[in-house]
Structure 1
Amino acid sequence: MSNASPHSASATPLVDANRLRQAGREPGQWLTSGRTFRQQHFSPLKQINRQTVQRLGLAWEYPVNYRGRVQHGLEATPLVVDGLMYTSGPWGTVYALDAATGKEHWRYDPPVDGSWARRICCGVVNRGVALWQRQVFVGTLDGYLVALSADTGKEIWTVDTFVNRDRHYSITSAPWIAGDKVIIGNSGGERGVRGYISAYDVHSGELAWRFYTVPGDPAKGIEHPEMAMAAKTWSADSSWQSGGGGTVWGHMAYDPTLNLLYVGTGNASPYPIWYRSPGGGDNLFLASILAINPDTGRLVWHYQTTPGEIWDYTATQHMVLAEVEIDGQLRQVLMQAPKNGFFYMLDRATGELLSAEPYVRVNWASHIDKATGRPVLTGQGNYQHKPKVVFPGSPGGHNWMPMAMSPDTGLVYIPAIDNPGVYINSPQYQFNPSGFNTGSIQYLPYWPPVPEPFHQLVEGGIKVQEYLKAWDPVNQKLVWQQPLKGGMNGGVLATAGGLVIQGTATGELRFYEANSGAILKTITIGTGIMAAPMSFAIQGEQYIAVMAGYGGAMSRAFPEGAAAYHYQNQGRLLVFKLDGGSVSLPPPVTPLEIPPLPEKWPGFEQADIQQGQALFGQYCVACHGANGQVRSAYPNLYTLQPAIHALFENIVLEGLFSAGGMAAFNDVLSATDVRNIQAYLITEQQKLLQGATLEQLLSPH
């Protein structure tokens, strides 16, 4: 831990326990990512409402970038306190802006090496900051928790949160405040890591406690009592070297009255339990909701949504706290729509299951047994011996994008996804500390091509249908839904003005009537939106803000034909008010020109090209996309200039472009491997020069 200069001498706290508990008295503030500790993403402001929304226009915008690096996805919900807005961008950058004008007060650029882009699953994204007293907390991609002065942006303290820097951990989630602790998790479930959360003293940065979410090798000892309990649900011969997964990369919540911190845990690593824990077992605490006493770090209760999970069914999704009447009794509840497709309502004091029903198409389980709380398996999800088409696929019925709840309507608004995944066992699986350790092959409609034989396994074909769904959580039924184009649409805001607001992957901001789902207004942004909007007020005027920027896990899944497909993916923070102006669109994407090939290059054998294609699929396609696929946020490697071809080995093996996020691959690729990848790319580029038609690649997007 290193200390930096102290912050401003001002003693007035931005956020403290009393202010958070009484947030209802300050409707114009947005104190946490979900506005209040209940995380409902609901604004009590009503100046912008069903009748006035047609007058909505742009108040100001702020360009979000990081030292000119490649554009990446924006996933944070801004916070607004006392006229200042605090938000984060890729790599863990933090921005403090005048909320009424967008004027920058300060900016924090963490010194993250670009090579960290190699260590991640799903983009160099960041999901927000936390405020407490006069400090702003952020987690950086390379694993540091940083406390900044809310007044100056200067570092107060910095702490390294990683227990093992040889493993491919990263941080993409927001920190969370619980009492006098700031809690941070990490990402990397597919990268062979072991999940945990760490709690630090908000004032000093000293480690208070650490809670592992899955057991480690028993031969190395048990860190805390919960791991002794969890170890009983894993095989003695489990693949401990694989880490186990269970990372806390998404959302948390904290109830200050019950003094309980709620933590959602992630997927398994590897996915198949027959490799991970050969004797079976529930494998606690994968895909679980944990209630932890933040003072002691001890578990109070847990609920596992997907025992023995094998499908990437994380329970890291956004959790909503509410008081609802069930059978004539007012209950304190926690609600979550995790990836596995069931909407859960739990008693948040005890963890008792109150209800669970499917909110999207589900075929891996028939229902959740109310008595045991366990899913009743159908057998359709077991792909150990033959491929299976499973609903939902690994993107889940609901991904990380926050849902919202309106206490006025009693409805929860879910950015939901109906999608299948073709799961195939990988019989040759071996743990690779530098690679993706899924242990299975997956074909998903988001990333074509899906081999034709598998289309026949799915009634109606392999396709994705996304919706904004209004869900009655008490009666567990759908009230209304609006279809959306596929591509991971944005999080949701509900307001007392009778509105539900959502950004889309297609580059629009949509305003729905909260009771009926009728579309009242659409504003074309031209940039795909994944983050949840928020609302605040200054001097009696209401604003709505949203971060627009597409990428992350969806870096190569721009919805074709959508508005965002035609414009450059420039990250922006957009703020709207009544009688504002029009939104300027980003510069258009121009048709790609196919440059000439290098004048000289060595001859290639067909075997070299085939190996290069296989290596490209293993190491490159996740970011850059395959030839003929939908447009990626990253450079198209099939249309490289001769000068780039000349530097190709330096780029791939030496990290020449690491400052832009293109790290060196010299730990997994040899010089021969790189030449073979280049051979494949040159061959494909030559086909284009000879007139092969790839409209997806060449048409203006």
Structure 2
Amino acid sequence: MKNKWYFLLLFVIIFSCQNEKPKGWIDQDRLQNRQAADWLTTGGNQDMQHYSPLDQINSGNVKDLGFAWEYDARSHIGNVPRGLEATPIVADGIMYTAGSWGAVYALDAKTGKELWTFKPKVDPAYVRRSCCDVVNRGVAVWEGKVYVGTLDGFLVCLDAQDGKVLWNVDTFTDRTKAYTITSPPQVAGHIVMIGNSGSEFGVRGYITAYDLKTGEQKWRFFIVPGDPANGHESAEMEMAAKTWDPKSHWQSGGGGTVWGESAYDPELNLLYVGTGNAAPYPIWFRSPSGGDNLFLACILAINPDTGKLVWHYQTTPGEIWDYTATQNIVLADVELAGKPRKVLMQAPKNGFFYVLDRATGELISAEKYTRVNWASHVDLKTGRPVLTEQGQWYKDKPKLVVPYLGGGHVWQPMSYNPNTGLVYIPERSVPQVFKTFDTYEWLPDVDNTNLDYAEMYKFRKHVLDQVKSAEDTVRAENLLAWNPITQKVAWKFPDGGPDGGTMSTPELVFQGTRTGYFNVHNAKTGEKLKSIFTGNGIMAAPTTYSIDGEQYVAVMAAYGGAETSGYLPDGVIYQYENKARIIAFKLGGGETPLPPKRKLVETPAPPATMKIREDLIERGTYLYNFYCDICHGKFGDRHLSQHPDLSKLPEAKHLLFNDILLKGILSQNGMASFSNSLSEADVEAIHNFLLKKQTELYKKGQSK
């Protein structure tokens, strides 16, 4: 009898062990029955709403929110401060998230203790191919595995227990083109999908699906057609080609890269993908006869089993303003006209908030969530925007357009709160003059938008003076609460804006800012209830989770990339070093430690042995603005960029200037060689421009 009970107990133990899931095991059943303590996707839940039902931290006690722990997430390549843009996933007490270059961190979510890291060996030259820093927007965790895309184009599958590489695949179709990956992978059924970035550099966008277990490629969906002389890869590309000029500038790729948060509906078995902007921007160079240019600026619904298109909706036909539809996609079940509807919501760059039936793609509503002057409205019968005079081609004269190329809402995630029924958008309303060059030629590894930025700035004041509506000349930024049912503003808070993505709980909205604050608002009224100074500019959306009955809120904090271009003077990055870290908060926490204060570096005297050639200054100015400004920015005491101020170069760097630019002797620090773009004469012109600038600033400093 004893033996009988012994074997029965042994069987129960063995059976239990066989069915016990390891940590990091997220599957469809767990997503559908999500426990409030977890944050299982980049969007928190299966519907990618950036919402949690946790309410231990609420409007009554959020005043007691304070620092719990921090983790150093600095770049592992070049030791240069980089932007952090991911929303961490938390499951089984472990936080999984991505850093710059595609690094992965697994941490004890209660203490911040590092459990393991994955740091890919990426060629630092890829910094040249990144329009918007070497950022990464997150990982996917599925059945004990962590999936991440690296900047240089590999999809890597890691063991969630120890970070061991299980498989990796090269996702790039052409390594001579300036592709990168900054997007999070998306699991959909039996596949994991990844897109890419690089439209501004002149590439052809696509997404690729891989087997979750083996990494075997299952299908690839190109976003725009290729040269029809080479045939079409699919029926979808044959259909899209009819909306392009057969004599399009096919060498430029067309654009359409997919780099935002996607979504998946397991009931409908549909993968939802938002696509990117055109390359080049002006359609008269890209597709001279015009056309809608599918599938640019589209929302696509794809069957993940086959990779076939089920439906599509184009937000901006004939896109010419960088109006991507890559902004995060949110799924929700709502009541419309007294009937339940399964909807998809998106606030893309073009300034309209879209509500679509996610089963059919039917446009339900589209209204302006920010100031828009390029279109008067969206025709609900045709689904097309109705263009204004400002929305016509800027081919013959500059046009003042709102929103600007950064959009009314960029990549920072909006959140949807089913408790309030509101969507919280980091909204901005910024006017911009668009002007193009008179000719176009595709160039490798550089900006191929073909916008004449220098002339755009010159024309700005002239055009603004001609504008009849003064409102179109005003810059405004808000944390916006939007009612997707009525398509109206519920409330606005003016110091929100495009800084950080949002996350909401039943009573609260959380958002970081460029001014260094982590703010908490009342979700119904917008009232600011708590503000914690971190000393970090914050772009990422927060996450929240509970361990041992205690709720935490965490956010990745570091500024970088496109968000620093034209950076506003209130940015905290002028005061404190850009310390890349993950910061967690909890009730009863302490004071948040601040990064070191920035130290003012005096401009040294330029080398006395180097004489400035005035005849090279104009050429050097143009080349600096085209190739260097995107990383190194402007000059002087208010120099913003996380990269060196080139007006403060020491003599040793001046002596090595040619070798730095043409031989790449500092490539391990992230300063790639420009030998495929610049000649020795070009480098000499840039060097003379910098010597002149350094001389001017040195004399200015000496006169104080």
Distance across 1 between alignment mates of 2:472 and 2:681:
40
Q: What letter is aligned with 1:402? A: P
Matches within 5 A, 1:271-310: 271-310=281-320
Equivalence for 1:476: 487
Distance 2:521 2:191 in 1: 38
Once residues 38 and 11 of structure 1 are traced to their aligned partners in structure 2, the CA distance between those partners, rounded to angstroms, is 24
Written as runs of structure 1 = structure 2, the 5 A alignment for 1:584-595 is: 584-595=593-604
2:624 paired residue number? 616
| Structure 2 Cα separation of the partners of residues 10 and 138 of structure 1 | 25
SS of aligned partner of 2:383: coil
Report deviation, 1:60. Answer: 0.3
Is the 2:416–2:424 Cα contact (8 Å) retained in structure 1? yes
2:139–2:148 contact (8 Å) kept in structure 1: yes
1:206 aligns with 2:216: yes
Correspondence for 1:331 among 322, 337, 341 = 341
In structure 2, the residue corresponding to 1:31 is in which secondary structure? Answer: coil
Q: Determine the structure 1 residue equivalent to 2:60.
A: 51
Tell me which amino acid in the other structure corresponds to 2:618: Q
Counterpart secondary structure, 1:425: coil
1:359 is the counterpart of 2:378: no
Q: Give the corresponding residue for 2:405.
A: 394
Q: Which residue of 1 aligns with 2:91?
A: 81
**For 1:425 and 1:616, how far apart are their aligned partners in 2?**
19
Q: Is the 8 A contact 1:267 1:287 kept in 2?
A: yes
Deviation at 1:656, TM superposition (A): 1.5
* Residue number in structure 2 paired with 1:600: 609
User: Is the 8 Å Cα contact of residues 465 and 484 (structure 1) preserved in structure 2?
Assistant: no
Report deviation, 1:557.
4.2
Q: Give the Cα separation in 1 of the matches to 2:170 and 2:245.
A: 32
Identify the residue that residue 11 of structure 2 maps to in structure 1.
Answer: none
Map Cα deviations across residues 67-92 of structure 1 (whole Å, 9 max, x no partner): 25211110000000000000010000
**Cα distance, 1:609 vs structure 2:** 1.7
Residue from 547, 562, 565 that aligns with 1:538? 547
Distance 2:494 2:180 in 1: 34
Residue 456 to residue 111, structure 1, CA distance change in 2 (3 Å): same
**What RMSD over aligned residues (CA atoms) do the two structures have, in Å?**
1.9
1:631 partner letter: L
1:555–1:634 CA contact under 8 A, matched in 2: no
Distance 1:561 1:693, change over 3 A: farther
What is the percentage of aligned positions where both structures have the same residue? 54
The structure that is helix-richer by fraction is 2
Aligned AA for 1:537? S
Give the counterpart of 2:268 among 253, 258, 281: 258
SS at match of 2:334: strand
**Alpha-carbon deviation of 1:9?**
12
Instruction: Give the equivalent residue in structure 2 for 1:627.
Output: 635
The 5 Å alignment of 1:390-429 reads 390-429=401-440
Alignment-derived partner of residue 5 in structure 2: none
AA of the residue aligned to 2:623: L
Partner of 1:18 in structure 2?
A: 29
SS in 1 for 2:390: coil
- How many Å separate the matches in 2 of 1:184 and 1:558? 30
1:473-521 CA-partner distances (Å, limit 9, x unpaired): 00000010011277x310001102x000100011110000011100001
Amino acid at match of 1:637: L
* Per-residue deviation, 1:207: 0.1
Give 1:425 deviation, angstroms: 2.2
Contact 1:555 1:633 in 2 (8 A): no
What secondary structure is seen at the aligned counterpart in 1 of 2:619?
A: helix
Give the CA deviation at 1:449: 7.9
Q: 2:452 aligns with which of 437, 441, 452?
A: 441
2:277 corresponds in structure 1 to 267
Matches within 5 A, 1:134-533: 134-381=144-391, 382-442=393-453, 451-458=460-467, 459=470, 462-484=473-495, 488-496=498-506, 498-533=507-542
1:310, 1:618 → 2: CA distance?
20
- Segments of 5+ residues of structure 2 without an aligned counterpart are 1-17
Distance 1:22 1:693, change over 3 A: farther
1:151: how far off? Answer: 0.5
Shift of 1:694: 12
Using structure 1 for the length normalisation, give the TM-score. Answer: 0.95
Residue type at the aligned position of 1:20: L
How far apart in 2 are the matches of 1:10 and 1:693?
71
C-alpha distance in 1 between matches for 2:458 and 2:25: 50
Q: Where does residue 678 of structure 1 map in the other structure?
A: 687
With normalisation by structure 2, the TM-score equals 0.94
Taking structure 1 as reference, are residues 182 and 437 closer, same or farther at Cα in structure 2, changes over 3 Å only?
same
CA contact (8 A) 1:549 1:569 kept: yes
Q: Does the 8 Å contact 1:524/1:563 carry over to 2?
A: no
SS at match of 2:106: strand
Query: Kindly tell me: are residues 49 and 693 of structure 1, through their superposed partners in 2, closer, same or farther at Cα, counting changes over 3 Å?
Result: farther
In 1, are the aligned partners of 2:423 and 2:483 still within 8 Å (CA)?
Answer: yes
- Please give the alpha-carbon distance, in whole angstroms, between the structure 1 residues aligned to 2:460 and 2:394: 17
> Equivalent of 1:638, from 637, 644, 647?
647
Verify the 8 A CA contact 1:149 1:155 in the aligned structure 2: yes
How far the C-alpha of 1:439 sits from its partner, in A, is 2.3
Residue 420 of structure 1 and its aligned partner are, at CA, apart by 0.9
Partner of 2:359, secondary structure, is coil
Name the counterpart of 1:5. none
Cα displacement (A) at 1:655: 1.1
> For 1:508-557, what per-residue CA distance to the aligned partner results, in whole angstroms no more than 9, with x for missing partners?
10000011100001000111000001100001100000000000212344
2:15 corresponds to? none
Cα gap change, 1:126 to 1:187, in 2 (>3 Å): same
CA distance in 2, matches of 1:578, 1:464: 36
In terms of Rg, which structure is larger?
Answer: 2
C-alpha offsets along residues 279-335 of structure 1, whole Å, 9 cap, x if unaligned?
A: 111110000000000000000000000001110000000111001111111100000
- For each residue in 1:316-359, what CA deviation from the matched residue of structure 2 results, as whole angstroms up to 9, or x when unmatched? 00111001111111100000000000000000000000000000
Separation in structure 2 between the aligned mates of residue 65 and residue 570 of structure 1, nearest angstrom: 7
Contact 1:421 1:442 (C-alpha < 8 Å) held by counterparts: no
Q: Distance between the aligned counterparts of 2:329 and 2:703, measured in 1?
A: 43
Question: Matched residues in 2 for 1:574 and 1:485: separation?
Answer: 19
Give, in angstroms, the shift of residue 645 of structure 1. 1.1
